[in-house]
Structure 1
């Protein structure tokens, strides 16, 4: 996750990071610029369209559709950010559950071997969950056209959670934990799997294909028709104007695509590795 000062305007304006959409869009922006130049040349130098040409009225369509495309992109961005923020809340809950479980076990357990087990396994769950969510196979579990091999040992978070439950149950059977103490720590143990399931739901359920495809086609067609009407009022200046409009619209879609899956390694994704390291540090301090 990129660390930055939100009050430093200069760095935002003049610095281009790896996550900046400008770098990713440069090739297609050049193509759009060339296309706009060709349309401008044909209308001005070759077709010699008069001011009363009906082609000039195409800009009326852009005025009507501009509001529609702004609503679509606003909804798209808000939906993607909701997924990003929900993922952050889930990892925040994982931090709290890990700390609470460690604090309770620290007060309940006497044997150092038992404490060492939980000192290792509680932060291990966060580390394994991070790797599980980064795995490309995890994001394909709900796709109809992907036939994944069934291997229950591949779900590593479940294996770690199972070891934690087995260990707690053995402590109860050996009278190292009472029934009341078992109930007290059960919520934290159960929350691990609940958090994993919530993160998998975000990972496995992308924005519906039809919706995402429609926005991309809408932006593309909208931008391709811009030069026809605005050449009359802008002349060859239509080239930078159309390129800039495409940059703004396409950037919003790219940003939404990046943050809707917050568990990757992109600059704007959640710092799950750092969170897992902090959990490990805090659990070692407690136990």
Structure 2
């Protein structure tokens, strides 16, 4: 995740980071500019269409559709950000859950071997969950037409959770912890699976295909028809205008695509690897 100072907003204007959408869209923007220039030339120079032609009314359609497309993009970006922020809250919950579990165990356990076990496995769960969510095949678990090589009978986070639960149960059977302490520790154990399941829900349930495809098609046809109306009033200035409009609309869609899967390796994704490393540090301090 990119670290930055939110108050230094002037630097955002003149600094182009490698994750900026303008770098990704630049080749397409060049193509859109050439297309708009050709349409403007054909209409104004080749056919000699003047401002009295009925084509001058096409921008009326764009004005109406512009309101519609803005609503769609707002909903799209808000939905993507909700997924990103929910994932952040889940990993914040995992941090707190790991701390609480470690604090309780540090007070309950007296044997160093038992403490060493949980010193390893509590942060190990966060590390395994990070690798599990970062696996591209995890996102395909609900796809019916994909034959995965991943063995779903060996769910790695569940295996780590099972080993911790078996250890807790063994401590109870050996009378190292009481029944009341077992109940107290059970809440943290349950939370591990709840957090994992919620993260998997975000990971393997993308935005519905029809909705995402419709927005892309809408943006494409909206941009492709802009030069036909505006070239009559703007002339060759239609080129930068159309390119800029395309940049704004396509950038919103690209940003939404990037943050809707917050468990990847993109620069704007959550730093879950760093969070898992912090969990390891904190647990080792407590136990």
| TM-score, normalization by structure 1 | 0.98
Aligned residue for 2:110, secondary structure, equals coil
Separation (CA, whole Å) in 1 of partners of 2:9 and 2:235: 33
1:146 aligns with 2:150: no
Report the CA distance between 1:233 and its aligned residue.
Answer: 1.4
Separation (CA, whole Å) in 2 of partners of 1:178 and 1:253: 55
Separation (CA, whole Å) in 1 of partners of 2:138 and 2:244: 37
Separation (CA, whole Å) in 2 of partners of 1:214 and 1:187: 44
Report the CA distance between 1:83 and its aligned residue.
Answer: 0.2
1:237 aligns with 2:237: yes
Aligned to 1:63: 63
Q: Do 2:51 and 2:233's aligned partners in 1 also have CA atoms closer than 8 Å? A: no
Q: Do 2:137 and 2:150's aligned partners in 1 also have CA atoms closer than 8 Å? A: no
Q: Structure 1 residue runs of 4+, over 4 Å off?
A: none
Separation (CA, whole Å) in 1 of partners of 2:250 and 2:150: 39
Unpaired segments of 5 or more residues in structure 1?
none
Aligned to 2:181: 181
Aligned to 1:110: 110
1:13 aligns with 2:13: yes
* Mean CA deviation greater in 47-56 or 261-270: 47-56
Q: Do 1:153 and 1:159's aligned partners in 2 also have CA atoms closer than 8 Å? A: no
Aligned residue for 1:137, secondary structure, equals helix
Report the CA distance between 1:72 and its aligned residue.
Answer: 0.1
CA offsets per residue over residues 122-178 of structure 1, 9 Å max, x none?
Answer: 000000000000001100001121122572454210110010000000000000010
Separation (CA, whole Å) in 1 of partners of 2:239 and 2:137: 43
1:28 aligns with 2:28: yes
Separation (CA, whole Å) in 1 of partners of 2:58 and 2:152: 58
Separation (CA, whole Å) in 2 of partners of 1:27 and 1:263: 28
Q: Do 2:161 and 2:189's aligned partners in 1 also have CA atoms closer than 8 Å? A: yes
* Mean CA deviation greater in 258-267 or 143-152: 143-152
CA offsets per residue over residues 32-70 of structure 1, 9 Å max, x none?
Answer: 000000001111110101221111111110001110000
Report the CA distance between 1:116 and its aligned residue.
Answer: 0.4
Count of aligned pairs between the two proteins = 287
Aligned to 1:82: 82
| TM-score, normalization by structure 2 | 0.98
Separation (CA, whole Å) in 2 of partners of 1:147 and 1:91: 30
Aligned residue for 1:274, secondary structure, equals helix
Aligned to 1:190: 190
Separation (CA, whole Å) in 2 of partners of 1:268 and 1:148: 28
Aligned to 1:91: 91
